[in-house]
Chains A and B, each alone.
Chain A
Amino acid sequence: MAYEALDFYDIDALLTEEERMVRDMVRDWVDKEVIPNIEEACREGVFPDKWRVDLGEMGILGAPLKGYGCPGLSYIAYGLICQELERGDSGVRSFASVQGSLAMYPIWDFGSEEQKNHYLPGMATGELIGCFGLTEPDYGSNPGDMITRAEDKGDHYLLNGAKMWITNGTTADLAVVWAKLDGVIRGFIVEKDDPGFSAPEMTGKHSLKASVTSELVFQDCQIPKDRILPGVKGLKGPFSCLNNARYGISWGAVGAAQSCFDSAKEYALSRIQFGHPIASFQLIQNKLSWMLREITKAQLLAYHLGNKKDDGTWIPEQISLAKMNNVDIALEIARMSRDIHGANGILDEYPVMRHMANLESVKTYEGTHDIHNLILGRHITGIQSFTREP
């Protein structure tokens, strides 16, 4: 049977023909290329290079960006792309999120004309891979206190410090790195062959196994003066990137949840216990009904937020709500689906355990679940609770 996405409230009817075509293109690709190969990729701990090539050929990297060879799609289309990729695997969606929202976006929004022309066309086709260096070993939720420093040495900048948990780091051709220059956070483009730069891969992950995660190390790393992003200063830079990536995650989580729901439904209908399919038992129906309810709500959140992104009326707190809620319910659905699959749920024959382990990362990265609660708490009360400082 072809995959039929759960769409209880007929969101399909709200999409433009172009959005549906893009969604179907990515959906077919995921069915043909990702799902048959994902378990092997996870076992080997690699992101197959063919996926990079295919994503570039489909022309979906940096989806909502316009000009400089970028696709110029709507934010709804970008969301649908994330949804379909994450239905395959969170690692595939992570690759696209980092490339588009975290590496291409800051160059597109804050870069010089020369930087845009130099990097963006190659990044849109996947020939150049980008990564994003914000988080440090000791500064995760609190990036403002980062240690990484840049010094102006007259004819070049000198970077010192380390970044951690960097998706695509080892395979990237360039990194958008956030570092303090005279105490102010600035963005820098570091290329893989710059002297003093290395990107060792982190190993031992039980989650996002088909995605490359790395450290970025800068030891007297010299970069030319024209690699600073001229258009932004302070945390606004990295946070603008995160807003776009978090928006994509709110759709991606729906895709992972749809995959888990689909698998649970099929399994419950075919698994016979006590002489009847387990789908006929009330406890199972209750679980499936809860999944349908939460997926439908998550779809409506993502879709409405997409419209607000497209017409420019969004606020970051709305993105926090959608990212937090949708990943939360996706993880809960993955666990519940694993439950419905019984012992079979732990096997790689079914996608649920993989999605579950992936979503633990997704719940933590791009603003942890709790940090998004604090963002909303500040919005409600006007009182920030991140730090004890006034």
Chain B
Amino acid sequence: MAIGVLLKQVPDTTAKIGVSEGRVDETAVSKWSMSPYDEYALESALRLKEAGGEDVVAITCGPTRAAKMLTDAAAVGVDSLLHVLVDDLSALDSTQVQSILAAALGRADCDVVFCGKQAADTNAGSTGPGVALLLGASCVSHVSEVSPDGGGYLALRASTGGDERVQVSAPCIFAFDKGDEELRRPNVRGIMMAKKKAIETISPSDLGVSLDNSRVTVVSHTPPPEKPPGQKFEGAESVATVVGKLRDEANVI
């Protein structure tokens, strides 16, 4: 058995996103990074391993460039790397990606799985619950911390009434919110080891997953409307105008 971590490579949250002909122009993305919630999931998985858990397997589904993210994960201590090569991830719908990931987790023999609550690009939030459904596993979402608890696990999650502690046993999936522990920094030793770590690259068909046509079609992407420029007022005579705008336009008073 192993601890599985599902990782997705997304445009860095600080990268400029351009839309060309109704689609996000991926070739113009200056920097690709691990999705931020996945980083919290990865850190928690590494901590679980250090607390006496099994080896950690990082799994991603994506194009060739996503391999770099797996190597980065190896540099912070992931034991093995599985890359399901899919050239155009945007051509698949969520359920197709979930069936690929569920099959990959089965192949890697994972009974406890960590992932982000949503990816920073699509923000769909369906991976954790969807994979759990396919695997018949429990799913705890919006988790910020996981610790071993007897034969099972104790997960901390925020709820409207305060913090919830949820006890689950394997098989289970934890979908991570922002946690207290940021992903550790790599070091030179980790980087040297990562360089030697092989990435197992396979196709969806190797996993026995046949991909029919996606049932979801993205019609178009549009950039968010440009923010209107700020307004500047000077002098005491503007007070009434500013108060009016704060009340009627900004709705803050």
Contact A17 to B71, CB < 8 A, known contacts A1-B14, A2-B14, A2-B31: yes
Segment 9-43 of B: residues with Cβ below 8 Å from A: 12, 14-15, 30-31
Whether a CB of chain B sits under 8 angstroms from the CB of A59 is yes
Segment 168-212 of B: residues with Cβ below 8 Å from A: 185-189, 191-192, 194-195
Question: Size range of the interface on A?
Answer: 10 to 19
| Inter-subunit contact B189/A4 (CB<8 Å) | no
Contact A58 to B30, CB < 8 A, known contacts A2-B12, A18-B191: no
Give chain A residues whose Cβ lies under 8 Å from the Cβ of B71: 17, 21
Give chain B residues whose Cβ lies under 8 Å from the Cβ of A28: 185
Whether a CB of chain A sits under 8 angstroms from the CB of B79 is no
Whether a CB of chain B sits under 8 angstroms from the CB of A22 is yes
Closest CB of chain B to A161's CB: distance in Å? 37
Whether a CB of chain A sits under 8 angstroms from the CB of B93 is no
Closest CB of chain A to B238's CB: distance in Å? 22
Give chain A residues whose Cβ lies under 8 Å from the Cβ of B15: 2
| Inter-subunit contact B195/A18 (CB<8 Å) | yes
Question: Size range of the interface on B?
Answer: 10 to 19
Whether a CB of chain A sits under 8 angstroms from the CB of B72 is yes
Q: Roughly how many angstroms separate A54 CA and B192 CA in the complex, as a whole number?
A: 18
Mark contacts of B41-83 with chain A using CB atoms, 8 A cut-off: 1 yes-contact digit, 0 otherwise: 0000000000000000000000000001001100100000000
Give chain A residues whose Cβ lies under 8 Å from the Cβ of B30: 4
Contact A22 to B31, CB < 8 A, known contacts A2-B12, A29-B185: no
Name the residue on A nearest B14 (C-beta).
Answer: A2
Whether a CB of chain B sits under 8 angstroms from the CB of A48 is no
| Inter-subunit contact B186/A21 (CB<8 Å) | yes
Contact A25 to B185, CB < 8 A, known contacts A18-B191, A18-B195: yes
Name the residue on A nearest B189 (C-beta).
Answer: A59
Q: Roughly how many angstroms separate A341 CA and B72 CA in the complex, as a whole number?
A: 38
Closest CB of chain B to A338's CB: distance in Å? 27
Q: Roughly how many angstroms separate A216 CA and B194 CA in the complex, as a whole number?
A: 42
Mark contacts of A328-370 with chain B using CB atoms, 8 A cut-off: 1 yes-contact digit, 0 otherwise: 0000000000000000000000000000000000000000000
Give chain B residues whose Cβ lies under 8 Å from the Cβ of A4: 30-31
Task: Tell which of B14, B187, B192 touches A18, judged by Cβ atoms closer than 8 Å.
Answer: B192
Whether a CB of chain B sits under 8 angstroms from the CB of A73 is yes
Give chain B residues whose Cβ lies under 8 Å from the Cβ of A2: 12, 14-15, 31
Whether a CB of chain B sits under 8 angstroms from the CB of A60 is yes
Closest CB of chain B to A111's CB: distance in Å? 22
Closest CB of chain A to B78's CB: distance in Å? 14
Residues of A within 8 A of B (CB): 1-2, 4, 17-18, 21-22, 25, 28-29, 54, 57-60, 63, 71-73
Q: Can you list 6 A-B pairs, Cβ within 8 angstroms, ordered by A? A: A1-B14, A4-B31, A18-B195, A21-B194, A25-B185, A63-B188
